[in-house]
Amino acid sequence: MSRRAGRDPARALLSAAAREGRAALMVPILLGLAATAAGIAQAWLMATLLATLLGHGEAGAGTLAAAAALALLQVGLVVAQETASARAGEAARATLRRRLFGRLLAETPSARPAGEGAALAVDQVEAMDGYFARWIPSAALAVVAPLMVALAAGAADALSGMILVAAGLLVPVGMAVSGIGAAVASRRQFEALQRLSGRFLDRMRGLPTLVLFRRQEDEARALDAAAQELRVRTMRVLRLAFLSSGSLELVAAAVLGCLAWRHGILAAEGHPNPVAALFCLLLVPAFFTPFRAFSTAYHERMSAQGAAAALAPILDATAPGGLLLEEVPPSVTLVVDHLSHRPDPARPLAIEDVSFHVPPGETLVLSGPSGSGKSTILKLLMGFSRPDEGRIALNGRDALALAPAELRRLVAYLPQRPVLLRATIRENIRLARPEASDAAVEAAARSAQVTAFAESLPEGLDTPIGEGGHGLSGGQRLRVALARAFLRDAPLVLLDEPTAHLDPATEAQVLDSLRRLCTGRTVVIASHSAMLRARFPKVLELREGRVVPQRRAVAT
Ligand SMILES: Nc1ncnc2c1ncn2[C@@H]1O[C@H](COP(=O)(O)OP(=O)(O)OP(=O)(O)O)[C@@H](O)[C@H]1O
């Protein structure tokens, strides 16, 4: 994470995003200023009309028509301002989401729970909408628009202008006093909301388990308590918001009182300019409108800062560097040399001093009890983590010097729990090589025995499947994932438990497919299966992260 000394990364992120979207953000600000100018002109015409009604002047239908036209123009400008604000917010969020998604994709795939990534890319980016769409325009307008109104009033009557300027200086003080409390309350509300949504997501995922253990009512009570906490905190934010708007209304009433007193005294002596008096009084609402919008948007800034604090570490992270491949070689010799890795500093080494060598056309089976380090080795080979010690070489070149994404170009990987998306079987297979032709996808499906079960489905390979492969059995999902490995056609194949949870007949079929996949490639398979070991005799036995020396092992 690159943190510039002394700079809050959340604020830095928001300012950088605002700078980037400056052009779009200027549009609602300029439209807001135009609406204020129209409001000032309209107030002058209305003052002239009212003064005529009171017997001071000769305004006629022309003035009334102009005032009506200005009122319509002002409405149009306000609508355009709202639309431009929404657009600016949308554009800023789209830019942030794009950058964030790029970063999430560049991260180690298993580094972050899926739900958290989704919440970051959707909810937290969404929480920034108000910052760009309302807070920034209203903050700019709260400085400039009241000044325009005060200058207009000052031009008509200097003292009235000064009263407005004095009130304008008082408003931020009142807002700051109530705003400090509102900031704390708003941050607590945001934290309570995050706790509630995190808990909800977690429990929704574990719903079948909760139902199985009859814990649903306890969980419903716990969720209720979290929702109650959120309600209490939201009410506190609202109370403080009312207090803040109450202080604003108090200042507005005081200003109106001062202006009435000022012009009342003048009126008692025969007012020299009744139109100016009415004009100043009519300007009071226009003077406070930008402050009201600013006060309403204040909490938007708080929630955006909370969201930015969550996003900044990801967006500030430096992208993993490394060498690029000139081209994908047709075959690969894999050498793993004295590899040690400790994924968690508080726990023992997951693998220790592991060495092996797999030439092209050979398959090495990593075998050993659960927790012996098989998946850890595959993840290191995929570049998902960097080993603490040791070397991985591909065709004699240091694989760790390659950018992780480049390393993955060489590899077809079947994880222990392959992920299928909500799409057709065909689209799920094509994920491995989007440009592949239908014929290539169908060949991969045949090789992985997908066609064997897809033929009995209503739409064959075009049958849609649900999220996470819903609608397919465990073995069928595995075969779809295996078809991806066929389609990928990479020189290095890494398979993590490719026959787990299969019945012996299906396992035998999948092993036939595997033999075809492994032919001519460099393959490492992590597996417990005795049937698989019988088919692939080169086995590296692991125990507690170390290689067990034995006759059939191929440690170098
Ligand atoms: N991200 C991690 N953080 C901490 N410890 C980890 C992490 N990943 C793996 N380990 C630990 O490393 C050891 C090896 O785990 P690994 O998943 O590689 O074993 P495995 O042989 O593949 O097991 P299985 O056959 O059950 O998948 C285990 O003790 C595990 O708890």
Q: Flag whether 58 is in a domain.
A: yes
Residue 530's pLDDT band, with cuts at 50, 70 and 90, is: confident
CB neighbours of residue 57 within 10 Å: 16
The string of DSSP codes covering 117-148 is: HHHIIIIIHHTTHHIIIIIHHHHHHHHHHHHH
- Judge if 261 and 357 occupy the same domain: no
Average pLDDT over every residue of 92-108: 80
Predicted confidence at residue 179, as pLDDT, reads 62
CA of 344 to the centre of ligand 1 (A): 10
- Cα separation of 132 and 96, whole Å? 12
- Judge if 76 and 221 occupy the same domain: yes
- Residue 426 Cβ inside 6 Å of ligand 1? The answer reads no
Predicted confidence at residue 112, as pLDDT, reads 58
CA of 372 to the centre of ligand 1 (A): 7
Q: Flag whether 555 is in a domain.
A: no
- Judge if 92 and 141 occupy the same domain: yes
426 residue type, one letter: R
- Residue 343 Cβ inside 6 Å of ligand 1? The answer reads yes
Count of domains for the chain: 2
Question: In what order do the strands lie in the sheet containing 492-496?
Answer: 411-414, 492-496, 522-526, 363-367, 539-543, 546-547
3-class DSSP state of 301: helix
Predicted confidence at residue 372, as pLDDT, reads 92
162 residue type, one letter: M
User: Is residue 518 scored above 70 in pLDDT?
Assistant: yes
Predicted confidence at residue 107, as pLDDT, reads 65
Residue 22's pLDDT band, with cuts at 50, 70 and 90, is: confident
Tell me phi and psi for residue 503, to 5 degrees.
-75, 160
Q: Flag whether 371 is in a domain.
A: yes
117 residue type, one letter: G
How many helices (H) and strands (E) are present in the chain, helices listed first? 19, 12
Within 206-273, where are the H helices?
Answer: 207-212, 216-268
Predicted confidence at residue 360, as pLDDT, reads 93
> Atom of ligand 1 at shortest distance to CA of 416?
27
- Cα separation of 354 and 341, whole Å? 10
Of 316, 348, 364, the domain-final residue? 316
> Atom of ligand 1 at shortest distance to CA of 376?
18
Q: What is the CATH number of the domain that holds 187?
A: 1.20.1560.10
User: Is residue 366 scored above 50 in pLDDT?
Assistant: yes
Size of the chain in residues: 556
Higher pLDDT pick, 292 / 208: 292
- Residue 372 Cβ inside 6 Å of ligand 1? The answer reads yes
- Judge if 177 and 259 occupy the same domain: yes
- Residue 346 Cβ inside 6 Å of ligand 1? The answer reads no
- Judge if 418 and 471 occupy the same domain: yes
> Atom of ligand 1 at shortest distance to CA of 344?
4
- Cα separation of 359 and 394, whole Å? 10
- Among 376, 378, 527, the mutation site with the greatest number of ligand 1 atoms within 8 A of its Cβ is 376
Q: Write the pLDDT tens digit of every residue in 42-84.
A: 999 998 988 888 777 777 788 889 989 989 999 999 999 999 9
With a pLDDT cut of 70, the percent of the chain lying above it is: 89
Average pLDDT over every residue of 336-364: 92
- Residue 320 Cβ inside 6 Å of ligand 1? The answer reads no
Residue 208's pLDDT band, with cuts at 50, 70 and 90, is: confident
Residue 468's pLDDT band, with cuts at 50, 70 and 90, is: low
- Judge if 347 and 275 occupy the same domain: no
CA of 165 to the centre of ligand 1 (A): 67
Q: What is the CATH number of the domain that holds 489?
A: 3.40.50.300
Residue 555's pLDDT band, with cuts at 50, 70 and 90, is: very low
Q: Flag whether 113 is in a domain.
A: yes
Residue 2's pLDDT band, with cuts at 50, 70 and 90, is: very low
User: Is residue 111 scored above 80 in pLDDT?
Assistant: no
Q: Flag whether 326 is in a domain.
A: no
Average pLDDT over every residue of 237-264: 81
Q: Write the pLDDT tens digit of every residue in 408-466.
A: 788 888 888 888 888 899 999 998 888 999 999 999 999 888 998 889 988 899 999 87
Q: Flag whether 327 is in a domain.
A: no
Q: What residue's CA is closest to ligand 1, atom 2?
A: 343
- Judge if 454 and 506 occupy the same domain: yes
Q: What is the mean pLDDT of the chain?
A: 84
- Cα separation of 520 and 214, whole Å? 52
With a pLDDT cut of 90, the percent of the chain lying above it is: 28
- Judge if 181 and 264 occupy the same domain: yes
- Judge if 382 and 306 occupy the same domain: no
User: Is residue 318 scored above 60 in pLDDT?
Assistant: yes
User: Is residue 473 scored above 80 in pLDDT?
Assistant: yes
Residue 63, class by beta-carbon neighbours within 10 Å (0-12 exposed, 13-18 middle, 19+ buried)?
middle
- Judge if 344 and 211 occupy the same domain: no
- Residue 480 Cβ inside 6 Å of ligand 1? The answer reads no
Of 284, 316, 348, the domain-final residue? 316
Residue 229's pLDDT band, with cuts at 50, 70 and 90, is: confident
- Judge if 86 and 213 occupy the same domain: yes
Q: Write the pLDDT tens digit of every residue in 486-500.
A: 998 899 999 999 888
Residue 358's pLDDT band, with cuts at 50, 70 and 90, is: very high
Give the best-scoring range by mean pLDDT among 136-140, 176-180, 204-208.
136-140
Q: Flag whether 71 is in a domain.
A: yes
- Judge if 303 and 419 occupy the same domain: no
- Cα separation of 479 and 457, whole Å? 15
- Residue 369 Cβ inside 6 Å of ligand 1? The answer reads no
- Residue 350 Cβ inside 6 Å of ligand 1? The answer reads yes
- Residue 102 Cβ inside 6 Å of ligand 1? The answer reads no
Q: Per mean pLDDT, which range of 9-18, 43-52, 200-209 is the poorest?
A: 200-209
Q: Per mean pLDDT, which range of 30-34, 121-125, 252-256, 283-287 is the poorest?
A: 121-125
- Cα separation of 104 and 12, whole Å? 20
CB neighbours of residue 303 within 10 Å: 22
* Three-state secondary structure readout of 331-396: CCCEEEEEEEECCCCCCCCCEEEEEEEECCCCEEEEECCCCCCHHHHHHHHHCCCCCCEEEEEECC
Predicted confidence at residue 551, as pLDDT, reads 55
Q: What residue's CA is closest to ligand 1, atom 6?
A: 343
Residue 543's pLDDT band, with cuts at 50, 70 and 90, is: very high
Cβ proximity of 404 and 324 under 8 Å: no
Q: What residue's CA is closest to ligand 1, atom 4?
A: 344
Domain that includes residue 500, residue range: 334-547
Whether the pTM exceeds 0.80: the reply is no
Cα-based distances in Å from 51 to 39, 41, 63, 242: 18, 15, 12, 36
User: Is residue 39 scored above 70 in pLDDT?
Assistant: yes
- Residue 371 Cβ inside 6 Å of ligand 1? The answer reads yes
CB neighbours of residue 107 within 10 Å: 16
- Residue 373 Cβ inside 6 Å of ligand 1? The answer reads yes
Residues 6+ apart with CB under 8 A from 432: 412, 444, 483, 484, 485, 487, 488
Q: Flag whether 1 is in a domain.
A: no
CA of 555 to the centre of ligand 1 (A): 21
CA of 267 to the centre of ligand 1 (A): 87
- Residue 376 Cβ inside 6 Å of ligand 1? The answer reads yes
Predicted confidence at residue 30, as pLDDT, reads 95
> Atom of ligand 1 at shortest distance to CA of 110?
1
Residues 6+ apart with CB under 8 A from 131: 14, 89, 300, 301, 303, 304
